[in-house]
Amino acid sequence: MAALPASGRPAPVQGRGKAKGPRPKHVPQRMCVACREHDAKRGLTRVVRTPEGSVELDPTGKRNGRGAYLCGRRECWERALRTNALARALNVPIDDDTAALLRRHAETLAPTGTADDPTSPHPGGR
């Protein structure tokens, strides 16, 4: 180990008008309106306010209208209804029929986020 090439000159760090800083780009984030978690793995379900003003489930995520996302936890759906988080996100009041529809959907979901504890079918039973 003797001959080092003499090209180890550190290049001067210098931006000459070509510096491209990290531009804040608007990326549509899918965030559960109840727990505010991003959950791409479990998947979020879109709820859409249609141009007609009704609120419907949008499993495909492609419908027109203002959308809000809820994750796969039943409690998030119930909380979003109870706290009006969904109504706020969609900027439209949720009527009883819509709330019933969403609750019915919530009942198809697992009671808690991690449904891997079959010994406790009643969450929060303390």
56 vs 46: CA distance, rounded Å: 9
In the region spanning residues 5 to 44, those forming contacts with Zn ion, defined by CB under 5 A, are: 32, 34-35
97 vs 58: CA distance, rounded Å: 16
Least distance (Å) between residue 106 CB and Zn ion: 11
Residue 33, Cβ density class (10 Å: 0-12 exposed, 13-18 middle, ≥19 buried): buried
Contact predicate 118/79, CB 8 Å: no
Q: Which stretch binds Zn ion (CB under 5 A): 9-17, 47-55, 70-78, 97-105?
A: 70-78
Q: Which is nearer to Zn ion, 29 or 119 (CB)?
A: 29
Amino acid at 59: P
Q: Which is nearer to Zn ion, 68 or 92 (CB)?
A: 68
Q: Which is nearer to Zn ion, 42 or 63 (CB)?
A: 42
Q: Is 76 in the site for Zn ion (CB under 5 A)?
A: yes
What is the size of the binding site for Zn ion (CB under 5 A)?
A: 5
Least distance (Å) between residue 75 CB and Zn ion: 8
Q: At what angle do helices 96-107 and 74-82 cross, to 10 degrees?
A: 160
For Zn ion, the binding residue among 47, 48, 68, 71 (CB under 5 A) is: 71
Tell me the sheet residues that pair with 47.
57, 68
Query: Given the rule CB under 5 A, which residues bind Zn ion?
Result: 32, 34-35, 71, 76
